[in-house]
């Protein structure tokens, strides 16, 4: 069997996240993808995603792998699947990977981006790609706070309660913040993320930037307890933008 890797791009607005649900009536990215693969190969396979993005969250570079007995050349899967997938899901590339490659467990880091539209007026064209914030945000405060969280921390305070995870430590490898025209763009790269962690961090950052609280992000992290100022930013502004793998898999050249 061939281990096929796909790089997906999708708009999450119409889906209840990446992960397939028990109910067939709930639309997910994974469900749509597996249905398309079945139509193409007549194989009932299970796909593995690098990140289990939540409902409404987008992806610019989501890695997925699956095993197939099909005679279709690995590089041809992208075009064939794009003819079967909904318009808001596309396969950017497809290629063969070693049998020991696992899109989720082989990853050594993931990178997310959060876009905030800072304007009194909303955008119709970007409505599913940015969070519209009509209020003043102190960019300098945001910058200092966002850059301060680099390093290894216990993010218990920034995790959705529905989790079986015991180790709540994450190593934040890099954070950036830029202001481009009417948008503030945040990025965060880490070895691992907790459920809902990025949106909870961004939501709290917005409270801090509007000076609704005197606490810093680091203080919230060290406190390890949920606080009324810790809230989840809307999903539409968040995108999975990259996943890093060990060089042995050769994916670093993509």
User: What's the pLDDT tens digit per position in 98-153?
Assistant: 999 999 999 999 999 999 999 999 999 999 999 999 999 999 999 999 999 999 99
The residue among 248, 249, 240, 237 whose CA lies nearest residue 92 is 240
Q: In which residue are the tokens 């706070």 written?
A: 145
Q: Rounded CA gap, 65 and 101, in Å?
A: 8
User: What's the pLDDT tens digit per position in 184-233?
Assistant: 999 999 999 999 999 999 999 999 999 999 999 999 999 998 888 888 99
Architecture of domain 2-106: 2-Layer Sandwich (3.30)
Q: How far apart are the first and last CA of the chain?
A: 23
Asked about 119 being catalytic, the answer comes back as no
Question: b/e for 44-78, b at 16 or more Cβ within 10 A?
Answer: ebebbbbbbbbebbbbbbbbbbbebebeeebeebb
What are the domain boundaries of the chain?
2-106, 109-242
pLDDT (0 to 100) of residue 84: 98
Q: Which fold has domain 109-242?
A: Alpha-Beta Plaits (3.30.70)
Are 2-106 and 109-242 the same fold in CATH? yes
pLDDT (0 to 100) of residue 226: 83
Mean pLDDT of 153-175: 90
Instruction: Tell me the three state secondary structure of residue 140.
Output: helix
The residue among 216, 194, 196, 193 whose CA lies nearest residue 204 is 216
Active-site residue, selected from the candidate residues 54, 88, 154, 181: 54
From the CA atom positions of the chain, what is the Rg in Å?
19
Is the per-residue pLDDT at 52 higher than 80? yes
């Amino acid at each position: 069997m061939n281990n096929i890797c796909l790089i997906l791009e999708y708009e999450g607005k119409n889906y209840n996240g990446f992960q397939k649900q028990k109910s067939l009536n709930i639309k997910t990215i994974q469900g749509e993808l597996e249905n398309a693969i079945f139509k193409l190969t007549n194989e009932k396979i299970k796909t593995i995603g690098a990140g289990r993005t939540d409902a409404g969250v987008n992806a610019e570079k989501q890695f997925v792998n699956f095993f197939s007995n099909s005679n279709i050349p690995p590089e041809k899967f992208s075009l064939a699947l794009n003819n079967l997938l909904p318009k808001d899901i596309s396969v950017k590339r497809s290629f063969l990977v070693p049998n020991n490659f696992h899109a989720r467990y082989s990853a050594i880091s993931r990178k997310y981006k959060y876009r905030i539209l800072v304007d009194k007026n909303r955008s119709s064209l970007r409505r599913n790609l940015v969070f519209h914030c009509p209020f003043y945000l102190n960019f300098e405060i945001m910058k200092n706070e966002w850059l301060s969280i680099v390093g290894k921390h216990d993010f218990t305070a920034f995790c959705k309660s529905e989790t079986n995870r015991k180790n709540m430590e994450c190593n934040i490898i890099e954070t950036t913040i830029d202001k481009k025209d009417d948008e503030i763009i945040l990025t965060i790269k880490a070895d691992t993320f907790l459920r809902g962690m990025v949106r909870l961090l961004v939501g709290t950052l917005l409270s801090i930037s509007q000076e609704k609280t005197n606490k810093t992000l680091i203080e919230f992290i060290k406190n390890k307890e949920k606080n009324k100022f810790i809230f989840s930013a809307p999903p539409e502004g968040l995108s999975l933008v990259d996943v890093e793998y060990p060089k042995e898999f050769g994916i670093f050249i993509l």
